[in-house]
Amino acid sequence: MVASTDLGFFLPGEVIKDIESKDKYTIIGPGLRRNEEDPNSLVATQAGRLTFRAPNTYWIESRRNRYIPKKGDLVVGVVTKKSGDILKVDIGCAEFAWLSLLAFEGSTKKMKPNVNVGDLIYAKLLNAHKEMEPELVCVDQYYKSGRLGVLPNEGVLINITLRLTHTLLNAENPLLRTMAKKFPYEIVIGVNGKVWIKANQAKDVLTLCKAFEAAELESEKSIIEACRQHK
């Protein structure tokens, strides 16, 4: 496992020099942009902690709550409006995203899935442009739904910070696995900070919520350390 290193706090507009990446390639993640004046340095576009993962990946980890849609993101949203074949879905960004009822697996003009206002949807962002409404789909490129689609009403929706979603979605992070040893649960994490959880007992859901709340303030290392103790 390659651990990421924290390189300190940066404010938007600050220039980051001393980029140490192998083979002259640098992969930049959220919150960073190439410096046009000096091609060998980067500029921060968000406030947060600069993080580096060997050999050549840089990104900024900030504690923002507001989601900005990006093409290909997997998100969880609430259906707020249904008009004809089009659903308006609140995914936590400035505008409601739209989702066609025909963008579900096996749906045709005559056979449409049963989706109601207030339902939760796990979908993929097909299109995210700053001057257009984001567009969602519930199928992949082979017209299969995979895990996308309408989520059952038995679970619960919670909001977490965007940074925590990245931490949880990291396959190497042991938090979800450690919790799974205590009790069984189902979880869907949208990168927009909305998380759907379903467990047998309400108590278990609340335990998970508390664990996430605690993890929000902790660094990756201390989460791993805490999980190790609970094994």
Q: Given the rule CB under 8 A, which residues bind other proteins?
A: 66, 78-80, 90, 94, 116-120, 151-157, 196, 202, 205-206, 209
Nearer to other proteins, 16 or 120 (CB): 120
Nearer to other proteins, 28 or 156 (CB): 156
CB of 144 to other proteins, least distance (A): 25
CB of 2 to other proteins, least distance (A): 35
CB of 130 to other proteins, least distance (A): 17
CB of 14 to other proteins, least distance (A): 24
CB of 171 to other proteins, least distance (A): 26
**CB contact at 8 A, 102 and 138:** no
Nearer to other proteins, 41 or 153 (CB): 153
Nearer to other proteins, 5 or 80 (CB): 80
Nearer to other proteins, 42 or 69 (CB): 69
